[in-house]
Structure 1
């Protein structure tokens, strides 16, 4: 059998201190402190999840329903890649599933699971960094780090809510599930760092190498697009570097086991989790999503895009994420000098979180994707400062060998603080449930598992009474009651690439009910209408909408209206529509763009899209040859409405050649209230620099 070479003189996992009498009562009390700290961290995570467990979510635009989608599909026996495409990745949803299923599988259980696991992830991040930076007594360091993170959350929730938005909203991004489970997605490198630390801190063997490689392969296959492949691949590179630098033996057999196990882990995990449909999932993630996200999602102006290193640094400065860069540089130098496993893994975590943010920002746009890197930087700084302070205090004669009384006093004070904070958190969670029970604006819905805003009860009841499937623009209350479909994706905005055609096919059978967002909810509705006109045009032509809740419209089939054609032509980089009267028109534009996957695109004026910085422009798919979009004509003037175009970036020659166009006047079915409900589209638009 291969020999083992010790990687370091790291201490045992047991939290012991040779200066204490193992038989003495004070020693037992002090030894129990880590358990108390970990218990507090767990209690806080559970109570915070419990606090939000009472209320049924109603905002269907991403958020809780985006998480619920994957959980309900898994409970229904569906498989990623075969039956659906998890936009958040497989593993971030899988880790929630046991909690969700154990609680009963209702909608509020998805909220509990996401809150619980997100906060546990935050606590584990700080705890693991404390372990790696402290370098001794791992259990004690883990417990102190997790408890400190939990205490910060309690303070923010109960006494200082401003902390949630401090440091560019860092605490909220790190501890709350948000719209897309960011804390869980960003936990991928920490999972692998923990595996590497536990397995390699005691030595290097072929078996341990294979275990580390297999873990890297599984995470790369199952985690999210931004952190999964980066975390897995980077860990393999870091471990390989350490093997070669430290001369661990057996070198070649160990490295062969590391990389071979990673490949096997990737394939096996990916194929098992998708029932053999891994290629289709990869095609969606790395073709459909990658080719569309740059031009499709907003913001759309150049300050939010990366075209150079200078752009990247500017965006990082705007997101307050430059500080961790010098921290990372310092950690890299220390790791090169120290040559220890702990410092190397701290470097790995900083690099992995930086690259994860880089992928989201460069591949898409500025959206605070560097939050995990910022969290790493501040956490390493805080833990390092505590470590240095402890070392400095240990040099003081009076504290060099602290007496039992002093140690017990500190432990008692710590337990007292945690007891007060924990009790307050439990009481707050219990009281919040009582508030809903006493509020006449809410009704308890056993099928959804919590208190539902009474204004949404008719929407839920209508979905329960309908036997035919419901099609939703975003998965929401109606889809949860009806059950998610077994094909394509659950929301129009996730129907990227080839999935647009698959999602559109669901409208071909003229479903009896289609649910969309009410137009006055927010400005993103104007973007959705503009960018996904392929979905809305059938509703405007052949459905009648009625308000079903404060946030939604329900569309039912009606006799299709006839759309009369109007003249349309292109003149250079402009589109001219001869609109005879004010109203909504459909334009079909044929063009030659910069090509699929291009890091550039053209926007055309439609005077509808006013989300963020759109200013009345909608982006064109750079890889398509034709695109339909709606246009609002508020003042037809002499009859010729000129639609301008603009390029992103706009510092070169024209990106897109306009070839021809056709247009039609949009009419609605007889008796449909569409025009009144969407009348705001014909009100004056804000200036281009508004939004």
Structure 2
């Protein structure tokens, strides 16, 4: 006879399994649609991504034998699947599949943290990418707003020019790890267990290792996460766990040792044991990638800040939220949920700021704009959750049923797409060297 607790755990496991099924189905369908043709377009980043994979599979070492300015995120997330079939077409399939998958995971985390409803988060994770990619978002919100949001989110759930969703996934990966830790410790998100843990040496070391290990993930979000985790660590120690300068120095020393050790390990792993090559490459990348960093030859683009009001429309709310979190921390009222959300906003804002003042501002919109809108949607969902709190069981049951039904329907459609793809009519001619069809022959 199963206890109520075991029944609840089994139901939750089934919910997660159905959510994963739906997300995988959407990602598969989008990936299959992308490889209807594998036409090479030199400026869209498709071959740029594959070039890294093919060189590694040929035995070359990143940062030593070839340029890898994007960072190791695309390699870690895509190379194992690309290695199963080393071709340009398979690279397109894999990168589009993982991009949609990663974005769905970020949707899940944002809705879970902001809307404070796991059923709503699971439904959003299954539904959102399909909602955008099918054109329903544009139809519902009209040509102007709907078209703008459709294009904005498309730049996140597709690889775009340089696997941006993979690069910016690092803060979400760290946030997810924090949530898993809290779940394993059976600590709620509304407490301060994550912050209080930093009074002990081992968590300080782990926090530092996490910050350092992410350095080679990407040149933008790897460094942004290191900076933000360091600032947050000091703030938590000074405003929440203050026990004098000696205690602060001891904990900070342990954190820095972990961060330096993690960064060294990260650089060695990324470069095949040549950390100096990694450091030289990272230092010089802005000199030849005009849109990455240092795009103006070292002149900070302060005028860009003044001439781009749309940037302020998204940066100021993020900064205001961080100021609110800082006030809550000073009052010793900051919850772990707010700490994790603050870290996500801080990391995205820091990476955006680095681009804007030291580069061309070329990539500011995808993360900052997209996740601001996503947070607004999650806040709207939070409002609906609060309005229906008296019928919470009925509401959550309806959300679970909708998520399950949608996941199963999407899985059926994905199986149909996969089964018929090989024998379907494809554009152009099959090119063995590409591993797929090409219209330009």
Give the TM bin, normalised by the shorter chain.
0.7 to 0.9
Question: What SS does the corresponding residue of 1:323 show, helix, strand or coil?
Answer: helix
- Aligned twin of 1:621: none
1:36 CA drift (Å): 1.4
Contact 2:122 2:403 in 1 (8 A): no
Evaluate the alpha carbon distance shift between residue 275 and residue 419 of structure 1 in structure 2; reply closer, same or farther with a 3 A threshold.
closer
**Is 1:283 the equivalent of 2:302?**
no
Question: What SS does the corresponding residue of 1:56 show, helix, strand or coil?
Answer: coil
Query: Residue 314 of structure 2: which of 316, 320, 323 is its match?
Result: 323
Higher relative contact order (CA 8 A, sep 6+): 2
Question: What SS does the corresponding residue of 1:261 show, helix, strand or coil?
Answer: helix
Evaluate the alpha carbon distance shift between residue 262 and residue 373 of structure 1 in structure 2; reply closer, same or farther with a 3 A threshold.
same
Question: What SS does the corresponding residue of 2:40 show, helix, strand or coil?
Answer: coil
**Is 1:442 the equivalent of 2:433?**
no
1:322 CA drift (Å): 1.6
Evaluate the alpha carbon distance shift between residue 169 and residue 335 of structure 1 in structure 2; reply closer, same or farther with a 3 A threshold.
farther
Question: What SS does the corresponding residue of 2:437 show, helix, strand or coil?
Answer: strand
1:356 CA drift (Å): 1.3
Q: Deviations over 1:365-400 (max 9, x none)?
A: 242423201122112222222123212321x4xx25
Query: Residue 228 of structure 1: which of 222, 228, 244 is its match?
Result: 222
**Is 1:355 the equivalent of 2:350?**
yes
Higher strand share: 1
Q: Deviations over 1:199-239 (max 9, x none)?
A: 4655344223222211211111x122222111122112212
Evaluate the alpha carbon distance shift between residue 365 and residue 339 of structure 1 in structure 2; reply closer, same or farther with a 3 A threshold.
same
Q: Extract unaligned runs of 5+ from structure 1.
A: 1-19, 457-691
Contact 1:55 1:451 in 2 (8 A): yes
Structure exhibiting the larger radius of gyration computed from Cα positions: 1
Cα distance in 1 between the residues matched to 2:117 and 2:400: 19
Contact 1:108 1:449 in 2 (8 A): yes
**Is 1:239 the equivalent of 2:233?**
yes
Question: What SS does the corresponding residue of 1:95 show, helix, strand or coil?
Answer: helix
Q: Deviations over 1:305-353 (max 9, x none)?
A: 9643x53143252xx6623522441353145324112212212211211
Contact 2:211 2:225 in 1 (8 A): yes
Evaluate the alpha carbon distance shift between residue 23 and residue 257 of structure 1 in structure 2; reply closer, same or farther with a 3 A threshold.
closer
Evaluate the alpha carbon distance shift between residue 48 and residue 85 of structure 1 in structure 2; reply closer, same or farther with a 3 A threshold.
same
Query: Residue 437 of structure 2: which of 451, 462, 478 is its match?
Result: 451
Query: Residue 169 of structure 1: which of 144, 151, 156 is its match?
Result: 151
Query: Residue 260 of structure 2: which of 258, 263, 268 is its match?
Result: 263
1:83 CA drift (Å): 0.7
Contact 1:30 1:411 in 2 (8 A): no
Evaluate the alpha carbon distance shift between residue 239 and residue 154 of structure 1 in structure 2; reply closer, same or farther with a 3 A threshold.
same
Q: Deviations over 1:524-556 (max 9, x none)?
A: xxxxxxxxxxxxxxxxxxxxxxxxxxxxxxxxx
1:358 CA drift (Å): 2.4
Cα distance in 2 between the residues matched to 1:77 and 1:378: 42
Contact 2:35 2:92 in 1 (8 A): yes
- Aligned twin of 1:375: 370
Query: Residue 149 of structure 1: which of 128, 139, 155 is its match?
Result: 128
TM-score (norm 2): 0.81
Query: Residue 70 of structure 1: which of 52, 66, 71 is its match?
Result: 52
1:253 CA drift (Å): 4.5
Evaluate the alpha carbon distance shift between residue 407 and residue 352 of structure 1 in structure 2; reply closer, same or farther with a 3 A threshold.
closer
Q: Deviations over 1:549-575 (max 9, x none)?
A: xxxxxxxxxxxxxxxxxxxxxxxxxxx
Contact 2:29 2:414 in 1 (8 A): yes
**Is 1:190 the equivalent of 2:169?**
no
Count of paired positions: 414
Evaluate the alpha carbon distance shift between residue 393 and residue 407 of structure 1 in structure 2; reply closer, same or farther with a 3 A threshold.
closer
TM-score (norm 1): 0.54
Query: Residue 111 of structure 1: which of 69, 72, 92 is its match?
Result: 92
Contact 1:132 1:342 in 2 (8 A): yes
Evaluate the alpha carbon distance shift between residue 298 and residue 306 of structure 1 in structure 2; reply closer, same or farther with a 3 A threshold.
closer
Query: Residue 128 of structure 1: which of 84, 105, 109 is its match?
Result: 109
1:264 CA drift (Å): 0.6
Cα distance in 2 between the residues matched to 1:230 and 1:218: 13
Q: Deviations over 1:42-68 (max 9, x none)?
A: 221123223324533322335111001
Q: Deviations over 1:593-646 (max 9, x none)?
A: xxxxxxxxxxxxxxxxxxxxxxxxxxxxxxxxxxxxxxxxxxxxxxxxxxxxxx
- Aligned twin of 1:411: 400
Contact 2:99 2:163 in 1 (8 A): yes
**Alignment RMSD (CA, Å):** 3.6
1:10-159 equivalence runs, <5 A: 21-22=4-5, 32-101=14-83, 103-134=84-115, 140=119, 143-156=122-135
Cα distance in 2 between the residues matched to 1:27 and 1:275: 42
Cα distance in 1 between the residues matched to 2:344 and 2:293: 29
- Aligned twin of 1:314: 307
Q: Deviations over 1:408-448 (max 9, x none)?
A: 555334433343344345445655554445x5x32252x43
Cα distance in 2 between the residues matched to 1:376 and 1:160: 21
Contact 1:67 1:180 in 2 (8 A): yes
1:286 CA drift (Å): 2.0
Contact 2:287 2:294 in 1 (8 A): no
Higher helix share: 2
Evaluate the alpha carbon distance shift between residue 390 and residue 217 of structure 1 in structure 2; reply closer, same or farther with a 3 A threshold.
same
Cα distance in 1 between the residues matched to 2:292 and 2:405: 52
